[in-house]
Chain A
Amino acid sequence: MAKGLQIDPAKCTSCLQCELACSNHHEGVFNPALSRIKVFEFEHGRRSIPYTCTQCEEAWCLKACPTNAISINQDTGAKVVDDATCVGCKVCTIACPYGTINYRSATGKVVKCDLCSGDPACASACPTDAIVYA
């Protein structure tokens, strides 16, 4: 079975190193607003939960895309958006049951987690092993 991001919310301290690492890897800037993984806080900070694409086996984003802009990376199993093919129609964002593929008005394209080609920056940056790539 392909490796995936194993997330253990009990270990998350909400430090946002994952968001910083993600935005830095993909956009070259430290900017949680551009991160593809988001930490959500619940119950006055009692729980913090990192949340991103689960790379569904049956990926509805991929099936819904009318331009075939989403493909499967054979090495990692990640569902990857091809920017050159994406026309920004947002159908995938409606198809995704988890809300983890998102439209960006600045670029007119959608973005999602691509597992950083097999070396996810979020997992490397997580100081508490709340996010592990295994």
Chain B
Amino acid sequence: MAWQRKVLRINLTRGEIHHEPLNMEWANAYMGSRGLGTKYLSEMMDPKADALGPDNVLIFATGPLTGTMSSTSGRYSVLCKGPLTGAIACSNSGGKFGAELKNAGYDLLILEGQSPSPVYLNIVDDAVSLESAEDLWGTTVWHTEETLKERLGDPQTKVASVGVPGEQGVRYACIVNDLHRAAGRSGVGAVMGSKNVKAIAVRGTVGVTADDPKRFMAVVKETMKKLADDRGRQGMTRDGTNAMIDTMHAFGGLPTRNFQEVQFAGSEKINPTAMRAKNENGHTNLINNKACFGCSIGCGRVAHIDPKHFSVADKPQYWHASGGLEYETAFALGPVVGVDDIDACTYVGFLTNEHSIDPISFGVTVAAAMEMFELGAITLEDTGGIDLRFGNAEALVQAAEVTGAQQGFGVDLGLGSKLLCEKYGHPDLFMGVKGQEFAGYDSRALQGMGLGYATSNRGACHLKHDVFSPDMKDQSGNGKAEPCKNSQDEIAAIDSTGLCIFTAGAWGMDDYAAQVDAACEGDWPTERLVELGERTWNLERQFNLNAGLTAADDTLPKRLLETPAPSGTAKGRVCELDYMLKEYYQLRGWGADGVPTAETLGRLGLNA
């Protein structure tokens, strides 16, 4: 058990709904969520297909542990070809939507084709229907979610939807569920919008069972205890992920003003201490913390904006509580655009959720626009009067509003940093890899992170590897390839269980294997999980190679390879990608051309 052994497949072009058995041969080789979704995607589509055309396939994949009592069991993955990157997209989200989908009886939900008109999908266990979304088209995520819950009459209904940027093909539009959790990266929301799917509503009452319930509960108890006792977990509960902003500022790895600098003095105005402090109006940003389904960490923040702040003073509809700053939103709406206004950052964070845009890609795109604005390549005429200087909180707010509404300069900002920089004649100012913007870590200070960024199959991403400890200990690229490769495989496996990688500080691979082994049929020793992770990584790589990407795409912007870090502990260093990458290809069993050798593919049971 633990799998529901059922797939819900929707052909949007023909309006057909199919219930199919889960392919257990694939489930045994790829487990679930990220791995299994990658396998289905690879089998179902031509990687050369247009990401925003009807031949792209959009998969919502839960893992075998999704919906169980394992801590952090609320995760699901969204897979498709990404419009931002032209590579495989695999975005992971929490909240309660994924567990609800699993509880409705499905391991995977697959959307094929393109609906002739706007629809939403309504799933109540076995009862599934496509309904008109004409009246919701053009509205926000928040409006859509609220309207559907009311219309369907069950407050326990969970909704994942897109706003206008998703409908209009913004390349970094995300899919937002439960108001402020998101399958955030690579533009999966634009793919949903391109299929004319506004929302998915799901209510599940079937439940999930473990194969060996007694042993499973014993393992859950043990792993819960381990997580509870872990100091890293305790910090995450207390401060959320934004504790990282102080660490990165001190270390000199905090990308600032489009990566021109690596430290940001204003970080103390948007850090966890600032979130808890009372401002001059007696307002405190942070309200409390909130967990995703089944999660005993609760890193999510619930915050509210000072009603007197310029951004919302005349907008009482934004005075309520919603998702507060996490590290990546704080970085992308703070240091990288030079802004240190906690209310402006929080408000723009709200807007990114309300309108379904990835705050990382949005913030880093605005940062590039700001640099080009200061260089004179983008003018006030281009921006429609927005004074896009670094540090201008009002400009950031205006930029978010026009991007959310897809009006004026917001259409340019919706291109993403790479195309925007090309359009305005400064391609070198794009800060990202494979078309996707960097997260909040500078590769000159964190070399292994640089290698991870360069090799991540979905473009620049901080979540697909974990070289953090080695990076903090040694600032050269020596010895970084191996932990990068190994952690990529392990994280691919963790992502495939349906659990959250924020457990990985407290749990080793044995802990995940023990949970999977008790929950699923068959034997699931640790080695099987790790090998499955490596298989998944290589299958993702094959998807990308078949899509037309090459080793030349495994690179970083010149700024990180040629311009030394101006301050911090890595002052004077550039990212030493060249030799790390060579070593990495060797460790992966790939040729110098970055292509897996026949021997590697054979060892992992993959076809050439």
Q: Which residues of A contact B (CB under 8 A)?
A: 10, 13-17, 20-21, 23-24, 27-34, 43-46, 48, 125, 127-128
Contacts and interface: CB of A to CB of B under 8 A. Distances in A.
B103 A28 contact: no
Interface in B305-322: 320-322
B296 interface: yes
Interface string B255-299: 000000000000000000000000000000001111111111010
Contacts of A128: 296, 298
Interface of B: 67-69, 71, 96, 103, 156, 179-180, 204-210, 213, 217, 224, 228, 287-296, 298, 302, 304, 320-322
B291 A33 contact: no
Contacts of B210: 30
Nearest to A10: B288
A88 B264 CA distance: 65
A15 B292 contact: yes
A33 B209 contact: no
Contact of A43 (B208, B289, B320): B320
Contacts of B209: 28-30
B208 A15 contact: no
Given A15-B292, A28-B213, A46-B302, 4 more contacts: A13-B290, A13-B291, A15-B294, A16-B96
Contact of A33 (B204, B289, B294): B204
A16 B206 CA distance: 16
Contacts of A17: 69, 294, 296
Contacts of B304: 46
12 contacts: A13-B288, A13-B298, A15-B298, A17-B296, A20-B69, A29-B208, A30-B209, A33-B204, A34-B205, A46-B321, A127-B224, A127-B298
Most A CB within 10 A of own CB, among B96, B288, B320: B288
Contacts of B321: 43-46
Contact of B217 (A10, A24, A31, A33): A24
A100 to B, nearest CB: 17
Contacts of B224: 127
A82 to B, nearest CB: 25
B106 to A, nearest CB: 14
A95 B156 CA distance: 25
Nearest to B300: A13
A127 B69 contact: no
A128 B234 CA distance: 11
Nearest to A125: B69
A66 B103 CA distance: 36
A127 B228 contact: yes
Contacts of A33: 103, 156, 204-205, 207
A7 to B, nearest CB: 16
A48 B296 CA distance: 15
Contact of B208 (A21, A30, A45): A30
Nearest to B205: A33
Contact of A45 (B103, B294, B296, B302): B302
B67 A30 contact: yes
A107 B466 CA distance: 49
Given A29-B208, A31-B103, A127-B228, A15 B293 contact: yes
Nearest to B322: A44
Nearest to B213: A28
Nearest to A25: B217
B207 A23 contact: yes
Nearest to B207: A31
A-B complex: 7 closest residue pairs judged by Cβ atoms: A31-B207, A127-B296, A33-B205, A15-B291, A46-B321, A13-B291, A29-B207
Contacts of B67: 30
A24 B322 CA distance: 31
A46 B69 contact: no
B592 to A, nearest CB: 48
Contacts of B298: 13, 15, 127-128
Contact of A13 (B103, B217, B289): B289
Contacts of A21: 69
Nearest to A32: B103
A20 B550 CA distance: 46
A48 B178 CA distance: 14
Given A17-B296, A44-B179, A127-B228, A30 B290 contact: no
Most B CB within 10 A of own CB, among A16, A17, A30: A30
Contact of B294 (A20, A28, A29): A20
A14 B69 contact: no
A15 B69 contact: no
Contacts of A46: 287-288, 302, 304, 320-321
B288 to A, nearest CB: 8
Contacts of A27: 207
A127 B290 CA distance: 12
A128 B227 CA distance: 13
B157 to A, nearest CB: 12
Nearest to A128: B298
A30 B71 CA distance: 13
A44 B323 CA distance: 9
Contacts of B291: 13-15
Nearest to B227: A127
Contacts of B302: 45-46
A33 B293 CA distance: 14
Nearest to B519: A30
Nearest to B96: A16
B446 to A, nearest CB: 31
Nearest to B102: A30
Nearest to A11: B288
A45 B179 contact: yes
B221 to A, nearest CB: 9
A45 to B, nearest CB: 6
Given A43-B320, A44-B320, A45-B179, A30 B68 contact: yes
Contacts of B288: 10, 13, 46
A8 to B, nearest CB: 12
A34 B287 contact: no
B204 A24 contact: no
B63 to A, nearest CB: 14
A33 B180 CA distance: 23
Contacts of A24: 69, 213, 217
A85 to B, nearest CB: 27
Nearest to A127: B296
A15 B295 CA distance: 5
A17 B71 CA distance: 8
B205 A31 contact: yes
